[in-house]
């Protein structure tokens, strides 16, 4: 159960990063729409992320990643991009590659990810740098 909670936390933080990069600002309703979750579920998650020091929420409801939240989000997003690109370079359709990357990005140790990243870049698999 703990792993699923951590995975969910990473997914929320990654989504906040993506939405911020895309739109410049993020609110709970944006997250709910992007992830296709209910507004109450997102509200509970944002409360938890705020209490854990991963996000801040201003008086207008705009969400910002803290340093800790941004570090987690960027790590997960980098993994997502690498795995998506790697899988598509092997012929996996992009939508399936993105779904699979979302699963893979949470399970690997830092050591295994570093080894895969090194291998992929060494072999020029068309990976993001």
Of residues 111 and 123, the one with the higher pLDDT is: 111
Total domains, the chain: 2
Of 50, 66, 82, the position where a domain reaches its end is 66
Does residue 129 form part of some domain? no
How far, in Å, are 10, 41, 84, 90, 111 from residue 105 at the CA level? Answer: 10, 23, 10, 18, 13
Same domain, 61 and 6: yes
Same domain, 75 and 48: no
Give the CATH number of the domain where residue 84 resides: 1.10.60
Same domain, 60 and 6: yes
pLDDT at 66: 97
pLDDT tens string 61-118: 999 999 999 999 999 999 999 999 999 988 999 999 999 998 888 888 889 999 988 9
Same domain, 41 and 90: no
Burial of 44 by CB count in 10 Å (0-12 exposed, 13-18 middle, 19+ buried)?
A: exposed
Give the CATH number of the domain where residue 7 resides: 1.10.10.10
Same domain, 6 and 46: yes
The pTM for the full model equals 0.85
């Amino acid at each position: 159960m703990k792993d699923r909670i951590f995975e969910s936390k990473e997914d929320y933080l990654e989504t906040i990063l993506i939405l911020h990069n895309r739109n410049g600002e993020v609110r709970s309703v944006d997250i709910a729409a992007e992830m296709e979750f209910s507004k109450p579920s997102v509200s509970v998650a944002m409360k938890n992320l705020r209490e854990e020091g991963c996000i801040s929420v201003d008086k207008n409801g705009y969400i910002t990643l803290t340093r800790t939240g941004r570090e987690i989000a960027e790590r997960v997003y980098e993994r997502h991009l690498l795995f998506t690109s790697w899988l598509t370079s092997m012929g996996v359709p992009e939508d399936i590659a993105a779904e699979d990357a979302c699963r893979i990005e949470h399970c690997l140790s830092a050591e295994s990810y570093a080894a895969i990243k090194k291998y992929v870049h060494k072999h020029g698999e068309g990976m993001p740098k």
